Amino acid sequence: MRMLWNLVSFTAVAGVAAYIVFLVLGSAVEAQVVYDANRVVVRDRLGQRVHNLSGMVMVPSECHALESRAKQIDGANFLIEFRTWEDPSRTCFSGAAPKQFHLTVFAPSVGVAFQATLDDVPIPLELIPAIE
């Protein structure tokens, strides 16, 4: 009887511990997936003191327009700002849609860092350099 009680106790404790680990790690994995889904891949065609940036940004729907601009934060850091707004004259289904962007930034070819925001929310940026 004592052995059965120990087996039941062990199973209950192991089950509770496994569930707690699932909740903690599951939310961490889910957060990583959401973070990666918003990542913007940018092609950086490098010229002499110029960066021609292009890529796709996911906007909330087909009815949303995308505006992009770059501003210099300091000597070596630039912020790419993406802003969206909904066109009220169109009827669209809800659901994310890709929108293309092109920007030209005049800066040294090396030693420059880019950050990005989408509607004032920081988003991860993956820069793929290409030399012209």
Task: Output the pLDDT for position 29.
Answer: 60
Given the structure tokens 């994310």, which residue do they identify?
96
Q: Are 66 and 101 in contact (CB under 8 A)?
A: yes
Regarding pTM above 0.85, the answer is no
- Calculate mean pLDDT across residues 34-39: 62
pLDDT digits 0-9 by tens, 39-78: 899 999 999 999 999 999 999 888 999 999 999 999 899 9
User: Which residue's structure tokens are 């630039």?
Assistant: 78
Higher pLDDT pick, 80 / 1: 80
- Alpha-helical runs (H) found in the chain: 2-37
Length of the chain: 132
Q: What is the mean pLDDT of residues 4-14?
A: 88
Q: Counting beta carbons within 10 angstroms of the beta carbon of residue 42, is it exposed (0 to 12), middle (13 to 18) or buried (19 or more)?
A: buried
H or E stretch covering 128? strand 125-131
